[in-house]
Amino acid sequence: MLGALDDRIDLLRQTNATLESIAQGLFKSWFIDFDPVRAKAEGREPEGMDAATAALFPAELQDSEFGPIPKGWSVQPIGDLVEAVGGSTPDTKNDAFWQPAVHHWTSPKDLSGATAPVLLSTERKVSDAGLAKISSGLLPEGTLLMSSRAPIGYLSLAQVPVAINQGYIAMPPGGRLPPAYLYFWCQLNMDAIKGRANGSTFMEISKKAFRPIPALLPSAEVVKKFDDFASAVFSRVATNEKQARALAELRDTLLPRLISGKLRLPEAQAEVEALVA
């Protein structure tokens, strides 16, 4: 029975990996390889795309500092397209900043060993007084978190409002490039991001160094079309990860109770069936 739980957890996480891979492949096709534009330029219909979506893409390329890009799109510093903010750590010796624990507060430690690219909870929370010490405040659900040091490059979409420490560059919703788009942009441009880092004790990329990185700005219609798809993917990933964690917690709770004899197998099976129903 417990093996079946493990199998279900593995399946959920394999599904998440597949979903992320599909979204990444679409991002690369649209915004790196420009497959729909190249197909239209050659007089072909873009593969696997309905007519309404194909109509959103231009039919020719133009020169840019990146080389050829779709006509009408542009290249701009990422800092002009999104808000990039940092955070801080309230004094850990002052209990008033941490109790009562009200607001999610994250450090890159929360992303270490993460099994999905979504932040569902945090190890620590801050009080109202602690939150007031963090200049970026409480960032909204959907914010993209990128660790900026020790190490650089953890990525996660927050599924809860969250405050951040100084180990992040965070990109909240509301910019010209939405967080789901930015997740894949950061992923595929991580070498360029790390190339801007410096430091003597450990490598770190500052917000000042991050903001000038050139980024492609597609048309708003194409960005929205991708964001609609990618946001649905991340919503499904979050749902799957919540279930996987619930199953893992149930497994870890059931095992010692079964071994000790405090719980009989039919009762355990009923608990499992109630959760996975």
All domains of the chain in start order, with CATH: 80-220 (3.90.220.20)
Model-level pTM greater than 0.75? yes
CB atoms within 10 A of CB 235: 14
Confidence of residue 90 (pLDDT cuts 50, 70, 90): very high
Q: Which of 91-105, 121-135, 263-277 has the lowest mean pLDDT?
A: 263-277
The runs of H, that is alpha helices, within the chain are 2-31, 35-41, 51-54, 78-81, 128-131, 179-188, 190-195, 207-210, 220-260, 265-276
- Cis peptide before 100, with omega less than 30 degrees from 0? yes
Instruction: Give the pLDDT confidence of 131-150 residue by residue, as tens digits.
Output: 999 999 999 999 999 999 98
Radius of gyration of the chain from Cα atoms? 22
